[in-house]
Amino acid sequence: MKFLVKFENNHLKNCLFTAIMGPIFAIVFTVCSVCPCAIDSLKSDFSANLSESKKEQHSIGKTIKSGKNNVLTEYEKDYYQRKIGNDYRIISRRGESGYWATAYELENKSGDKFILKIPNNPSYTKSWIDRQRLAEYRIKKYYEKYQGDLQIPNYINIGDDFLIEEYLGKNISKKGFWNDLPEDEVSKFINSMAEFLKFTHSQERGAIAPLDLDHPSFALKDSLSYLDNAGALNREDRRLVLNLIEDFNHRDVSDEITCLTHNDIRLQNIVYNADTKKFALIDFDSLDINGKIYYGFTSKAMAVNGIPYEIHSKIIDKYNETSDFKINKEKVKMIHKVGSLLEITAYSKFKHKCKPHADIWPLATSVFDKFGEKIDNNMVCNEVWPTIKELFEEIDKGFDSQT
């Protein structure tokens, strides 16, 4: 009985399918018989649409951006222009790309400027967008009552593969910028940065969490060995490096607490608007509620942050004048030295094994990109160590300056 019911149901389905699809097949067969090219046209249209779809899937977001190679292709530009709508027009890229994303200038119909950010690599687009959404949430939560002079970004629109934020100014050029800036503008920057840091560090204060600059594959002791093995250090220089490492490893860590930190304060993330005479701090996707307070005066990415050391020293002085938490300036100076030592030696040793990005290794790449893939012992003696030693002297001079 079950077999008969199943047979009758299948038979009914077949009859219905024949009744519905039969006439359609007949029409298609007739058209193709009268005009054989019709079927080829259908195939051609289908293939074209499929090809265009695959082209879009392949092209959009697939062009990996890095360094100076950050120009949108015409297809990408058209794609993002359609995504952001007619209210904005993509003008141009904005400087070199960062490690995670590239910024492009936008303009609305009124001529107001905005910033479009696009992730550099499609493999981490989702995670990058998630970080932007978290940053937007945390900015609203922690900076709702912030009224400082140092501006922070306002997120306009976060899409599935792009971010639009307000335009706050141009990236600072390292060469000559601070020297050309009027003294009162430099003072405004110092005061506004100290005020921002005080406001930020007053939130989410937690337990002691000592800094650890060592990388699993390259520690501070490896920096000393690298220079030693190359024959770069005389007895006095070796004692200088050894003392620095020992001082860092045996420092007092009782003031190394956690708190809310930006975690990425460095020259690349500071912009200046010449029209409004205001500075701004950007890229809040590293904002950390359990950050280490001393990263507020260096950077989690590297100990060298590009801000002139004499200005950096004055920021700490101004911070300590008004904050209930006091920062040890000698410790910050030591972190800058240790960070410089670690970054330059690690870059020198591993340059031939990877393609370091200037956003991650700004100090080392600016110094050693003129050399080939591998840096030999002769270069370590004549270029690497002299550069580190010169930087140590520059740090001492900047932090000890009272002018």
Phi, then psi, of 322 in degrees rounded to 5 = -115, -20
pLDDT, greater one: 263 or 69: 263
The DSSP line for 264-280 is: --SGGGEEEETTTTEEE
Domains of the chain, by residue range, sit at: 74-166, 170-400
What whole-number percentage of the chain has pLDDT above 90?
Answer: 53
Q: 10 Å Cβ neighbour count for 50?
A: 10
Supply the pLDDT for residue 72: 81
pLDDT grade for 349, boundaries at 50, 70 and 90:
confident
pLDDT grade for 156, boundaries at 50, 70 and 90:
very high
CB of 134 closer than 8 Å to CB of 124: no
Q: What is the mean pLDDT of the chain?
A: 80
CA gap 219, 216 in Å, rounded: 7
Supply the pLDDT for residue 47: 43
H/E element holding 117?
Answer: strand 113-119
Provide the CATH topology of domain 170-400.
Aminoglycoside 3'-phosphotransferase; Chain: A, domain 2 (3.90.1200)
Range among 31-35, 169-173, 213-217, 319-323 rated most confident = 319-323
The DSSP line for 2-16 is: HHHHHHHHHHHHHHH
Question: Which pLDDT tens digit goes with each residue over 48-98?
Answer: 443 444 444 444 444 566 555 677 888 888 899 999 999 999 987 776 667
Supply the pLDDT for residue 176: 81
pLDDT at 314 over 80: yes
74-166 is a CATH 3.40.50.2300 domain:
no
Single out the residue of 251, 160, 261 nearest to residue 205, CA to CA: 261
> Which residues does 145 contact at the CB level (< 8 Å), separation at least 6?
none
CB of 259 closer than 8 Å to CB of 205: yes
Token pair, residue 330, equals 């000698």
CA gap 399, 310 in Å, rounded: 5
Single out the residue of 218, 242, 209, 181 nearest to residue 342, CA to CA: 218
Phi, then psi, of 273 in degrees rounded to 5 = -105, 110
Supply the pLDDT for residue 305: 62
pLDDT, greater one: 220 or 57: 220
Question: Which pLDDT tens digit goes with each residue over 91-123?
Answer: 877 766 677 888 899 999 999 999 999 998 888
